[in-house]
Every structure is written in C-alpha cells, then in structure tokens.
Structure 1
Amino acid sequence: MRVMFVLNCLGTGGAEHHTYQLANALAARGDICSIVGLTSSYTATDPSQTSIKPAHLSQSSIKKLSQSTVEMLNGNRIYDIGTALGVSRMIRTHAPDVIVAVDERPLLFATISRRLAGSNAKLVSILHNPDILTARDQAFQPIYRYVVARVDAMIYVAQIQRKFWEARGYSPPTSLVIRNGVDLRRFSPHSIVEWKDQTRSMLGLAPSDYVIGLCARFYPQKNHRQLIDAIRILRSRGHPAKALLVGSGPTQASIEQYASENGVLEHVVFAGFQQDVRPYTSAFDVGVLCSISEAASLVALEMMAMGLPVILSNVGNAAEMVLPGETGFLFPPGDTMSLVNHLQALSDPLKRETIGRAACKFVNANFAAGPMLDSYRNFFTRLLVESPPYELLHGQTQIRR
C-alpha cells in the first residue's frame, strides 16, 4: 500500500508527531509512505526556527521520518497555485493508493491536487482541530465543508470532536473515531526513576518543592496565565508551589511579564522548547493543562503513562481520559479556584502516588499506540478493497476502567 501524508508544515507539534508515528508504523510493515509539508513556516513548536528543510529537522524528527520520503514546499499562502501544482506533481511521482490530509488546509490542497494529477487515490482526512480558532478559519468554513463532503473518509481523534464538527456542517460520506495512542515504551514510570532528581537539581528545584508542570506551546488557547494565578494562590496558602513550563511560542514573553507583575516570577521555571520532553515532565509532581480549546491531548496521555496525576480543563476528550478522583481531576475551563482546590488536594504525596499509578494503568489499557496504529492500517486496507458504505472501525472506543 502506498500512502501519502499531506501536512501544513514539518514540525514537532501534536498533529505532526502523530503523522510521523503513523507513517513509520506503516513503513515498518512494508507499506510505502511519503510525507509532504505545504509550507516552510516552522510554526509547530519553536518560533526561533523560521524555516526548515528536511535535512535540518531535529535528530528526533529525523528518526521519526527515517523510513519515509519527505518533501517540503513553500506554500505560505492559502491560495497558491504553485503549491497545488507541486503537490499534484508529487502525487503523480509517488502514485499513492491513499492520500491522508492532516487538518483542513492540507485537505483543501490535497483535494485540488488529486484532481489536477488525475489520481484515483482514496482521500482521507485526519482532523486534529478542536474548534474554529481564528477569523480566517471562520471565513473558510464554507470551503472546508465543501471539500469534507468529497473525501472518502474523515477520521476524528475524539468522539466529542466528531459531534462538534458534524453539528457545524461537516458531512463526510464516512466518519470514524480513532483515539490517540501513546508509545508505552518511551513514556513509562521508568522515566521518572531515571530523570526526576537529576532534572530538578539542574533546574534549581528543591525536593520539598511542589512542582506543577505544564507542557504546551505558548499560544493563547493554552491559557498559561491560569497556572500563574494558581501558583500565586497556592503560595498565599502556604504551599511551596512552583510552576515548570515546558515549551515556547509567541505568548511566552507576556506570560513572563504576567508572572512578574503577580510577584511569582521567581517561582516559575521556563524550560523552553525541548526535543525530548521526558526529562522535564519527569520533574513534575502533577501535570496540568489549562487549555480553553483542545481536541485530544497527547501530552496529557504521555504524562499519565509516566505515572503522573493530571488536572485538565474539561475540554475536548478530557472526560474520556480522566476518571475524576481516580486518574486525575477535571475543572471547568477558566475556573481558577477549582484548579487550585484540585492542586491543593494533590499536595499530598501519597495521594499523588495512588492516582498516578491508576492513571498509568488506565492509559496502558485504553490508549496504547499499538491498537491505534492497527486501527489506521486496517481502515486504510478496507478502504482500498471494499465498496462504500465501508465497514466502520471505531478504533479504541471501549474504555476499560
């Protein structure tokens, strides 16, 4: 089977990581994969890198892409006939059986380019977007609804995400849910044993500090300010709370200023962009996500797989990942006092250990990468051999508690 993935850019964000994981898994089973990045803008994680070439990717990304053909275009505009022709040329060159467009803009280009190439490849879209986030997204919704109706299948990463988009007019001929999965060989409690003490010492964090970690890009929807507020309140209540923020992005400077204005800058560690986040997440006592918008957080699953209790804003599929009081806690988005109260409850090390152990067991049972990757390959195979309506595979839909 020949599979071509079309991405907006070649970066190390969640959608890109998911694509590399899937492409290499297919390649390892004998399928022929190619990856096309539409744009040279490196917007996924590290804003200090304004453009990349495949040869200039990080070592971890090179490893992820090593079994696939990777090509990058320079289509930095939404209307770009040159980019459409470039993708069309690659479709003719690689002759894919399945074209997988990751999110809406790549789907738009893949739809046009498949027609220009005269290709009969099946067109599948994997949608990671949780919401309509920008004015431009809103303006392009009629176009996106048009192309979604013409795919062979749409794959969502969360059940609630499918309901959201189909309520807003997405009506693909076939849709299914395949939830994200974690590489349990890389993310396990062993990481904490290996790195926790060393990392905390390197970052100047004392054994007695209550380290609350957030691993995410500095973007408005990640809502880092809320954790700064929580740290201020916890410290006013006598807790030795420290925030460890892993990532970089356009809002980082404003968050640093906000922490300074609130008198907690000395209690916030900005670890920056990290190719391998495991040594840093290993230093967390609790993992937090304050997002105001999210589809299906891979980083939350990774923290849970490492044996960390998590506290998540109740957006996207958070309610599928967290059993409140058992594997972590949920709080209404924007409700800082609810977040603070959950953090206060987890200031007890024994409670953290109990919940973290349950979180690890839950992810192992329900969100392993192996079943996720099997679901994708099985569906692509059925797509090629069956006539519509296809027998739907819903991936890992039965959650074992």
Structure 2
Amino acid sequence: MRVMFVLNCLGTGGAERHTYQLANALAAHGDICTIVGLTSSYSTVDLSQLSIKTAHLSQSSIKKAHLSQSSVEMLDGNRIYDIGTAFSVSRMIRTHAPEVIVAADERPLLFATISRRLAGSNAKLVSILHNPDIQTARERVFHPIYRYVVARVDAMIYVAQDQRKLWEDRGYSPPTSIIIRNGVDLRRFSTHSITEWRDRTRSMLGFGPGDYVIGLCAHFRPQKNHRQLIDAIRILRSRGHPAKALLVGSGPTQASIEQYASENGVLEHIVFAGLQQDVRPYTSAFDVGVLCSITEAASLVALEMMAMGLPVILSNVGNAAEMVLPGETGFLFPTGDTISLVNFLETLSDPLKRETIGRAASQFVAANFDADRMLYNYRDFLTGLLVENRRCDL
C-alpha cells in the first residue's frame, strides 16, 4: 500500500507525533509511506523518530530525503492563497503515486484535495481530524470551505466520540466517518521510565525530595491555559504546600506566562524546561500531570503520562471523560475552575494516593489505549478503502 501523509509541518505536536507513529507502523508492515510537511519548519522535530529515515535536508523550496521507497518531503508554502504549494504537492502525488492520501486536519486537507485534482489522481482521500473546535477568526472565515471539502473526502477519521458529534453539529458531513481513539506506545511510555529517569531529572532541574512537582507538557498557546496552573501553584503555596511547576514545551505565549508568574510572586517555583524531543525524562519528574486546556480533542500527552504511572488532573474537555475514571485514574475539573483544580491537587499531595491512582492509570491505558490496537484499526480501515477502490477499477 502506498500512503502519502500531508501535515501542516513536521513538528512535535500531537497530530504530528500521531502521524509519525502511524507512518512507522505502516512502514514496518512493508507499506510505502511519504510524509509531506507544507512548511519547512523541520528543525523543530527529531526526524530520527521516523522509521522513514532522512538524510541532511537542504534549504531549497522542496526538501527531500529518501530511504528505500519511503520519503519525507517539505515545502515553504502553507498559505491558503499560495497556489504554488498546491502545484508542488500535486507533483509529489504524481511522483509517488499514492493509493491513499491522508491529511491531518483541515488546512492539509484543503491542499490535498486541490493537489489530488491537479495531479489527476484517483487515490482515496482520508482526513484525520485532531482539532477540537473552531478557535480563530481565520478558521471561522474558512469553515464553509472546509465543510465543502469534507463532504467530498472518501472518509473522515475522528479521534473521539464527542469530537465527531461537535463537528457534525458544525456541518461536517463526510460520506463515511469512523472513530479511532489515540493510542500509546507502551514500549516507550511505561512505569519503567519513572525508575530510569525520575531522580536524575529532578536533581538536574533543582527539585528537592520534598517538592511537590506538578507538570504540564504542552505547547505554549492560549488554548492550553498555562496561567491556570500558575494560579494553582500560588494558591497551593499559600496553603502551605511545597508546590512547584515543571512546564515542558515552548510557544508564543511562554514570555507572557513567565511574566504572569513573576507578577504573582511564584516565578522561582516554576521551571520552564523548553521544547524537548523526548519528553519522558521530564515527565518522569512529575508527581502529578495536569492539563488546563480550554479546548482539546483527544490528548495524547495525557495518555502518555498515565501510561507512565502518573495520576492526572484534566480539564473536562474533549474526550477527557473517556480517559479518566474520576477518583480511580485521576480527576476531572470544569474548564476554568481553578479552585476545583487546587482541591484535587491537594488530594494528590498524599504520596500513597498518587501511587495508587498512578498504578490504576497505567493499567487503564494498557487495557484501553494500546497503540498496537489503534494502529491495527488504522491499517485495517485504510486497507478496506483500498480494496474497495480496486474493486471499482475492475
């Protein structure tokens, strides 16, 4: 099976890591995969994550690297009005002749739709939608276009039940849709990570044995709502808890979050770890994992923390209620409710409580969110589409 994946960029976000995971699995089965990043921001990702290995990438407008029959391709476009990017993708489609084109989210889907038409390809077009909702004015402007495009894909894959309902309520009506929940590579994310890295990482970052380390691993963007954790740290410390925050990631709101922590007198209790290619050593330093997101579809990082044996406290958005059994594998709090977040953090300040809930979280993820099962479902679904396409050609 020849599969082309189209992404906004080759970054370290959840949609990108999910795509690498899927491409690796397909390549391991002998499928031929091409990953197309519409922008050239490849410096933000460690391409050694990919079984589809890459050599040095030059600064030309189209960057290529090949190993065997698989490749990674990157462009300098990704502007809605940049027809040159659409023509570049169409050339790649003609060159690689994919049987299935998989677009991650709406903008790549728009380019994939136009480019498939320009290339005269009859490849099946599939969209994997990770977005939780319409978030920006620009997305609202282009939403009618995206609705039109979605109605003409061959299939839409959602990552959560609530997400599918929300987008169908927004007018998305693909001819076929399916839910395939995110999964975690349990060989990489496991309780052994804590044993391997915890003490070393905490010492390196300056945490003492008595510190209560609350971690948040996410890009610094408004929807991730880092400010709420800063508020929680301030309140916890005012109540006598030795709470500290470890923030893993980077992004446009980081400077404002640092300023906010300083204004609230807790900057010395916040560690900004920056963007990390491998988050496991840093996540292992957490006592509790937190996500304060205002919007979320299906958080992969929450599942990874749970798989490592960490109790989590999540804002109740997206599919959080599918991942967390309140009081058993973690806690859910209403979006924006800082006092509820603080109260749950106080509950988990007890090490024995953390250990019990963390162990249950790890077992729950292993039973319900195993990446091998997720990847089997993807390959089975894509293969089924392809078989249908071949029948039509007979």
Within a 5 Å distance, the mapping from 1:135-284 to structure 2 comes to 135-284=137-286
Residue of structure 2 aligned with 1:115, choices 117, 141, 148: 117
Q: Is 1:125–1:155's contact at 8 Å kept on the other side of the alignment?
A: yes
Q: Is 1:21–1:64's contact at 8 Å kept on the other side of the alignment?
A: no
Within a 5 Å distance, the mapping from 1:97-116 to structure 2 comes to 97-116=99-118
Q: 1:78 to 1:255 in 2, by over 3 A?
A: same
Other-structure match for 1:84 = 86
The whole-number CA distance in structure 1 between the counterparts of 2:139 and 2:367 is 36
Secondary structure (helix, strand or coil) at the match of 2:36 reads strand
Secondary structure (helix, strand or coil) at the match of 2:8 reads strand
**CA drift at 1:84:** 0.7
The whole-number CA distance in structure 1 between the counterparts of 2:14 and 2:363 is 23
The whole-number CA distance in structure 1 between the counterparts of 2:46 and 2:76 is 19
Secondary structure (helix, strand or coil) at the match of 1:154 reads strand
The whole-number CA distance in structure 1 between the counterparts of 2:182 and 2:136 is 24
Secondary structure (helix, strand or coil) at the match of 1:364 reads helix
Q: Is 2:15–2:104's contact at 8 Å kept on the other side of the alignment?
A: yes
Other-structure match for 2:299 = 297
Q: 1:64 to 1:211 in 2, by over 3 A?
A: farther
Q: Which amino acid aligns with 2:9?
A: C
**1:58 maps to 2:60:** no
CA deviation vs aligned residue, 1:80-123 (integer Å, no higher than 9, x gap): 11111111111111111100011101111111111111111000
Secondary structure (helix, strand or coil) at the match of 1:225 reads helix
**CA drift at 1:64:** 6.3
**CA drift at 1:38:** 1.1
**CA drift at 1:314:** 0.2
**CA drift at 1:58:** 2.3
Other-structure match for 1:74 = 76
Q: Is 2:124–2:389's contact at 8 Å kept on the other side of the alignment?
A: no
Q: Is 1:304–1:360's contact at 8 Å kept on the other side of the alignment?
A: yes
The whole-number CA distance in structure 1 between the counterparts of 2:108 and 2:78 is 12
**1:341 maps to 2:343:** yes
**CA drift at 1:79:** 1.4
Q: Is 2:24–2:51's contact at 8 Å kept on the other side of the alignment?
A: no
The whole-number CA distance in structure 1 between the counterparts of 2:165 and 2:116 is 28
Secondary structure (helix, strand or coil) at the match of 1:294 reads coil
Other-structure match for 1:9 = 9
The whole-number CA distance in structure 2 between the counterparts of 1:64 and 1:207 is 41
Other-structure match for 1:49 = none
Other-structure match for 2:64 = none
**CA drift at 1:63:** 5.3
Secondary structure (helix, strand or coil) at the match of 1:337 reads helix
Q: Which amino acid aligns with 2:31?
A: D
The whole-number CA distance in structure 2 between the counterparts of 1:63 and 1:93 is 21
**CA drift at 1:73:** 1.1
Q: Which amino acid aligns with 1:221?
A: Q
Q: Is 2:328–2:360's contact at 8 Å kept on the other side of the alignment?
A: yes
Other-structure match for 1:397 = none
What runs of 5+ residues in structure 1 fail to find an aligned partner? 43-51, 389-401
Number of equivalences: 376
TM-score (norm 1): 0.92
The whole-number CA distance in structure 1 between the counterparts of 2:32 and 2:284 is 36
Q: Is 1:20–1:65's contact at 8 Å kept on the other side of the alignment?
A: no
Residue of structure 2 aligned with 1:368, choices 367, 370, 378: 370
Q: Which amino acid aligns with 1:368?
A: D
**CA drift at 1:57:** 4.9
Q: 1:59 to 1:32 in 2, by over 3 A?
A: closer
Secondary structure (helix, strand or coil) at the match of 2:146 reads helix
Runs of 4 or more off by more than 6 Å in structure 1?
A: none
**CA drift at 1:65:** 4.8
Secondary structure (helix, strand or coil) at the match of 1:386 reads helix
Secondary structure (helix, strand or coil) at the match of 1:300 reads helix
Q: 1:164 to 1:65 in 2, by over 3 A?
A: farther
What runs of 5+ residues in structure 2 fail to find an aligned partner? 55-66
Other-structure match for 2:63 = none
Q: Which amino acid aligns with 1:326?
A: E
**CA drift at 1:124:** 0.3
Q: 1:23 to 1:245 in 2, by over 3 A?
A: same
Q: Which amino acid aligns with 1:327?
A: T
Other-structure match for 2:318 = 316
TM-score (norm 2): 0.93
Q: Which amino acid aligns with 1:162?
A: R
The whole-number CA distance in structure 1 between the counterparts of 2:178 and 2:283 is 32
The whole-number CA distance in structure 2 between the counterparts of 1:183 and 1:275 is 16
Other-structure match for 2:333 = 331
